[in-house]
């Protein structure tokens, strides 16, 4: 299965996530063209900075435009406060920390979109029933936060960790 190739149940090889599996996963999400274009860029490239700006703006809009109960407004505000530190980690190429933070951002974003359903055991199944690509994305979101522990032996600027993070950035930029 495509998802299991990206996050193998028996763990990653010493080099971290498989770059080929990341590309196939991006294709399954329908973001492969942008993903491949961005992955080929140097991280300090002006086009990459532009993309990261679009990502940040889109994520901010997703959070702002999400309707929530009055009691959850504070959660929205706290989530918006998490975006600048996430962007700083990405800019610093600290992908271990960025993946962990991004996982937390996705957990909160899922709550804003789906409410308490997002914390249930069948959340991914629920999202797959809505849309297959969306389900695949939220399955991804449930797994990336744990990459920090799994990839202790990967270098902090390892391109395989960047490839996994870039999948989520591309998807949400085009959401």
Confidence of residue 103 (pLDDT cuts 50, 70, 90): very high
Confidence of residue 157 (pLDDT cuts 50, 70, 90): very low
Nearby residues of 160 by Cβ (< 8 Å), 6 or more positions away: 15, 16, 17, 18, 19, 22, 154
Confidence of residue 136 (pLDDT cuts 50, 70, 90): very high
- CB distance 31 to 169 below 8 Å: no
């Amino acid at each position: 299965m495509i998802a299991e190739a990206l996050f193998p149940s028996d763990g990653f090889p010493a080099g971290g996530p498989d770059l080929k599996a990341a590309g196939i996963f991006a294709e399954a999400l329908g973001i492969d063209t942008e993903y491949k274009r961005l992955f080929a860029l140097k991280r300090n490239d002006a086009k990459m900075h532009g993309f990261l700006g679009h990502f940040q703006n889109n994520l901010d809009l997703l959070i702002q435009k999400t309707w929530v109960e009055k009691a959850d407004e504070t959660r929205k505000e706290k989530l918006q406060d998490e975006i600048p530190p996430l962007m700083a980690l990405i800019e610093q190429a600290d992908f271990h920390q960025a993946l962990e933070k991004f996982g937390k951002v996705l957990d909160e974003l899922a709550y804003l979109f789906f409410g308490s359903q997002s914390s249930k055991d069948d959340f991914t199944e629920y999202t797959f029933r809505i849309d297959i690509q969306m389900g695949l994305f939220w399955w991804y979101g449930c797994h990336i936060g744990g990459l920090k522990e799994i990839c202790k032996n990967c270098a902090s600027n390892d391109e395989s960790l960047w490839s996994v993070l870039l999948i989520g950035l591309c998807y949400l930029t085009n959401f």
